[in-house]
């Protein structure tokens, strides 16, 4: 549950205690969403359905307004507050501003990248446009080395994908709003254990006229 909206170390959202708990947690689940592009209802539905069982929410950019809208709504919606993970990490997309107003007195600063510590390891969060991911993973790989990260979450391409290259894991959850490459809209959940990181991709489906989600395997 999100206890309060407070940007702490490296602009992560969550209390110091929540960040410390996540860093030392032996088993953690990370809800990874990207490229919502003002499709707030879908963004909110994903968090409402899956956030309660996850320890952190990661947003890889392009739709920061949807994240801030969610944060604002947690202040008045107890059920949504209880479903929102206690730690939130996010990065600025090429369509996002560097800061976004939360209310008349506060704004959320939106960094180009963030490092999230889970189970004693660093996880890099970026959008991907600055690393030119459309041309390959080389620049992102260099950023990971500099940040001492073995796993990176990114967006921008709107294509769900997991790549393992020379001991580094690159994960794009796809777009929950505007998928490309013939893919469905969706997101990902990362399970972090001591010796591995497992990625599950989920896609949007129609269940009797209602929005639902189910596991699927993108073809890489």
**What are the contacts of 80-84 at 24+ separation with CB within 8 A?**
80/44, 80/47, 80/48, 81/1, 81/2, 82/1, 82/52, 83/1, 83/47, 83/48, 83/49, 83/51, 83/52, 84/1, 84/2, 84/47, 84/51, 84/57
3-state secondary structure of 2: coil
pLDDT in tens, the chain (220 residues): 776 666 766 799 999 999 999 999 999 999 999 999 999 999 999 999 999 999 999 999 999 999 999 999 999 999 999 999 999 999 999 999 999 998 878 899 999 999 999 999 999 999 999 999 999 999 999 999 999 999 999 999 999 999 999 999 999 999 999 999 999 999 999 999 988 999 999 999 987 778 899 999 997 6
pTM: 0.95
Q: Are 54 and 85 in contact, with CB atoms under 8 Å apart?
A: yes
Phi first, then psi: give them for residue 199, nearest 5 degrees: -115, 125
What is 9-216's CATH number, 3.40.50.2020, 3.40.190.120, 3.60.21.10, 3.40.50.12160?
Answer: 3.60.21.10
Q: Are 127 and 156 in contact, with CB atoms under 8 Å apart?
A: yes
User: What are the residue ranges spanned by the domains of the chain?
Assistant: 9-216
- What pairing do the DSSP bridges indicate for beta strands 197-207 and 210-216? antiparallel
Q: Are 178 and 158 in contact, with CB atoms under 8 Å apart?
A: yes
């Amino acid at each position: 549950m999100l206890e309060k909206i407070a940007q702490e170390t490296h602009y992560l959202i969550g209390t110091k205690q929540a960040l410390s708990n996540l860093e030392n947690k032996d088993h953690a689940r990370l809800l990874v969403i990207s490229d919502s592009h003002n499709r707030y209802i879908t963004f909110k539905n994903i968090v409402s359905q899956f956030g309660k069982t996850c320890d952190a929410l990661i947003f890889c950019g392009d739709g920061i307004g949807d994240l801030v809208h969610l944060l604002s709504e947690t202040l008045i919606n107890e059920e949504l507050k209880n479903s929102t993970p206690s730690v939130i990490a996010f990065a600025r997309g090429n369509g996002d501003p560097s800061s976004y107003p939360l209310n008349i007195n506060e704004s959320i600063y939106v960094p180009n990248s963030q490092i999230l510590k889970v189970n004693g390891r660093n996880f890099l969060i970026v959008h991907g446009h600055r690393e030119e991911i459309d041309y390959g993973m080389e620049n992102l790989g260099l950023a990971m080395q500099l940040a001492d990260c073995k796993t990176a979450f990114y967006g921008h391409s709107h294509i769900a994908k997991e790549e393992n290259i020379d001991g580094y894991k690159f994960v794009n959850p796809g777009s929950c709003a505007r998928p490309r490459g013939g893919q469905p809209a969706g997101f990902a959940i990362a399970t972090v254990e001591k010796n591995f990181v497992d990625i599950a991709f989920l896609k949007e489906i129609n269940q009797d006229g209602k929005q639902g989600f189910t596991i699927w395997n993108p073809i890489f």
